[in-house]
Amino acid sequence: MSTFLSDAARPERKGAFVYGHSAAMQSLNSMVGEIAPTNIPVLLMGESGTGKEVYGRMIHRLSKNAQAPLRKISCRAVEAGEFFALLKSELREVDSDGTQSPRTIFLDGIDELDLESQRALLSILPDGETDENNSNCARIIASTSRNLEKEIESGRFRKELYFRISGVCLRLPPLRDRKEDIRALIEHFLAKHAAELEREALALNERELEFLVMHDWPGNVRELENLARRMVLLGDSRSALEELGEMPKLETARREEPRRLSLKVAARTASRRAERDLIAKALERTHWNRKRAAQELQISYKSTGARAKWQDPGSQDKKEEAKDSKKQSTPGATSSAADDATYKIGAQDVLKIDVWREDQLTRTVPVRPDGKITLPLLNDVQAAGLTPMELANGIREELKKFITNPQVTVSVAEINSRRIYVNGEVNKSGAYQLLPHMTILQALSGSGGFTAFARVKSIYILRIQNGATGKIPFNYKQAITGKNPDQNIELQPGDTIVVP
């Protein structure tokens, strides 16, 4: 990543930047640092709320046209007949001295343009590649929340326009695929809105931060910022989080086909969720006193421990239904890893800690970016770098100071630390689990194939080593024909495959 981009993108700067420490964002920021100083048109693709406009403004600030204002046209709001005149006016606007200086135009939601407006835009944009020396030509940065390839297939978007505006295509990952950035982002948003509203800045406790990490965030970064603003306005984080917890989980863009469930399964799932929520709220009201909560709900004392699932507000039903395979080791400590007993826990993995007959110590926790988890009585516990069995033994030994012969089980509920990323002209871009000895070709085979616009001879891998981002070229045509098999290297955690 360029030093200029790193300095300019710090969260404390005015005009906040969607900044992150995850591998996906570091790779994206590195690409921005390379293309921003050029005059290449950029297409920003991503779900609503991922920060496309923020990235558009960042590219402009790092460009040669930074001294000129960024002109934004909202394609959703402009009428078809007005678009051509508005765009032509922006392109022909001259400075006070009568000269025309380079400028940048941001077309927000370009997929909303009707075919007539698209044709008008084509008539104005230069034909072929942008001439870097043509100072009179405005740079175009466009954004879309839709899959333009599908829009082209359906006849709603012109293929030739796609080629004109996508000199470089940047896909912004959804927040659910970069959860390691949530802590830094919420701290930044809380401080930002506290300053804007002249209120006292709030500090979230570890339990509240864990809740945020477990949430799906269908509204992405925008939803997180709105939550932070609501917290500051209310002066109470708990009330805002309770509202968030009651919101139904929306179907995200990555689920294109509806899941088929029988009525019986759907009713059982809804009943389980309602039961869990009622017990969790009762436990909150009684300060986690199970006996008082049981009396209030008129159920048995054991039920609150057996059925509540209150340990983690963000636990998912699929985890409740999953059966963990357990391997016995030293007495009192067992573990279940997603792959095998040698699996090393990493940052952002989600662990299920079970302490037999100690419901208040049993919970599902994410591994923080510093490699630690937080548990009652023990506070911060190092988890990254250990196997689940080693962690279970360590927790057991520490709990012996407080509990007689504790029985501890550690299982890996979600593997998030060993991930790679596929970005660019593929049908299914995003984060993928890194399997043992996975190669570039194997990773590409799981990304749904290339789009019609992919330049498969110019693929490259971004790899971060010692804080610096390196680029490894990969020619798909040569790899599949066996002309250069050595380039099909094994991937490492955090690698990003870019298909231009």
Distance CA 50, CA 172 (A): 6
Q: Is pLDDT of 2 > 70?
A: no
pLDDT per residue over 457-475, tens digit each?
Answer: 999 999 887 778 889 999 9
Q: Supply φ then ψ for residue 334, to 5 degrees.
A: -130, 165
Weakest-pLDDT range from 75-84, 109-118, 171-180: 75-84
412-432 pLDDT per residue, tens: 888 877 888 898 888 888 888
**Neighbouring C-beta atoms of residue 463, cutoff 10 Å:** 18
Residues 350, 414: contact at Cβ < 8 Å? yes
pLDDT at 13: 41
Q: Residue 80's pLDDT is what?
A: 66
Task: Name 205's Cβ contacts closer than 8 Å, sequence gap at least 6.
Answer: none
Token pair 């466009």 in the structure block, residue: 142
Closest CA to 456 of 434, 439, 473: 473
In CATH, which of 3.40.50.300, 1.10.10.10, 3.90.1150.10, 1.10.8.60 is domain 176-246?
1.10.8.60
The pTM of this model reads 0.55
* CATH code reported for the domain at 419-499: 3.10.560.10
Q: CA-CA distance, 127 to 117, in Å (whole number)?
A: 17
Kindly state the average pLDDT of the residues 147-170.
91
- C-beta atoms surrounding 119 within 10 Å: 14
| Number of residues that this document lists for the chain | 500
**What whole-number distance in Å separates Cα of residue 351 and Cα of residue 394?**
14
CATH 3.40.50.300 fits 3-173, yes or no: yes
Q: Which CATH class is domain 324-414?
A: alpha beta
| Rounded Cα–Cα distance for residues 15 and 8 (Å) | 10
Give the mean pLDDT of the chain.
78
Distance of alpha carbon 128 from alpha carbon 163, whole angstroms? 9
The residue among 158, 144, 169, 132 whose CA lies nearest residue 42 is 169
- What strands, in cross-sheet order, belong to the sheet with 408-414? 327-328, 333-336, 408-414, 350-355, 363-366
Spans of all domains in the chain: 3-173, 176-246, 263-307, 324-414, 419-499
Q: Are 103 and 135 in contact (CB under 8 A)?
A: no
Tens digit of each residue's pLDDT (9 = 90 or more) over 366-410: 888 788 998 888 888 999 889 999 999 999 999 988 888 888 999
Residue in 125, 139, 147 with CA at minimum distance from that of residue 168: 139
- Identify which has the larger pLDDT, 285 or 240: 240
Sign of the dihedral defined by the CA atoms of residues 430, 474, 417, 415, in that order: positive
pLDDT of residue 127 exceeding 80, the answer is: no
